[in-house]
Amino acid sequence: MGQPQATSGTPAPVRVTAIASLTPLEELEADPFLVDARSQHAMCARWAAEHGYVVARELLVGGLRFDHCALWDGVRPGIDVFVAPSLRVLRRALSSVEAFTAECARRGVRVETADRAEPAYDAQMKARVHRRLSMPTAGYDGR
């Protein structure tokens, strides 16, 4: 069968949908990584780059059903991969990881976790996440 072909005859790039958890800012002190979607997406992007894949979509979801159209919009079997930073993040992002992985298997789409070390958050890092999330309409970009 081989690798899927793009229209030019070259292999189609593997497209990654990066899944991050939508976790309320109120949980920043207890679990900053779950709140810090930017770091979650960055971890997924590093994983994709290491594998020579392309991040096509970034989803920020909390408790999403496995069959929600936001997950499956444009997903192609054998070409697309879902990646989350960790199983812990995936459990927060989706209502049922088991139902989601079963649906992925049924559709011929891989599910991966980056499984890299989470950043160690000090007070300054938590403050940056807080500012970024609490002032998005003021033009603050978190840097």
- What is the per-residue pLDDT across 106-132, written as a single tens digit (0 to 9) for each? 999 999 999 999 999 999 999 999 988
Is there a domain that residue 2 lies in?
no
pLDDT at 47 over 50: yes
User: What is the model's pTM?
Assistant: 0.85
| Number of domains the chain is built from | 1
Is there a domain that residue 27 lies in?
yes
Phi and psi, residue 128, nearest 5°: -65, -45
Q: What is the band of 23 on the pLDDT scale with cuts at 50, 70, 90?
A: very high
A 10 A CB-CB count for 60 gives: 16
Is there a domain that residue 40 lies in?
yes
Is there a domain that residue 109 lies in?
yes
Q: What is the band of 8 on the pLDDT scale with cuts at 50, 70, 90?
A: low
Is there a domain that residue 9 lies in?
no
Strands (E), the chain: 15-21, 54-61, 80-84, 110-113
Is there a domain that residue 7 lies in?
no
Amino acid at 35: V
Is there a domain that residue 4 lies in?
no
The domain that holds 39 is classified in CATH as 3.40.50.1390
Domain that holds residue 37: 15-135
- CA distances 21 to 50, 55, 70, 86, 114, Å, are 22, 17, 14, 10, 14
Is there a domain that residue 3 lies in?
no
Of 94, 38, 40, nearest to 66 (Cα)? 94
Answer for the pair 20, 114: CB distance below 8 angstroms, yes or no: no
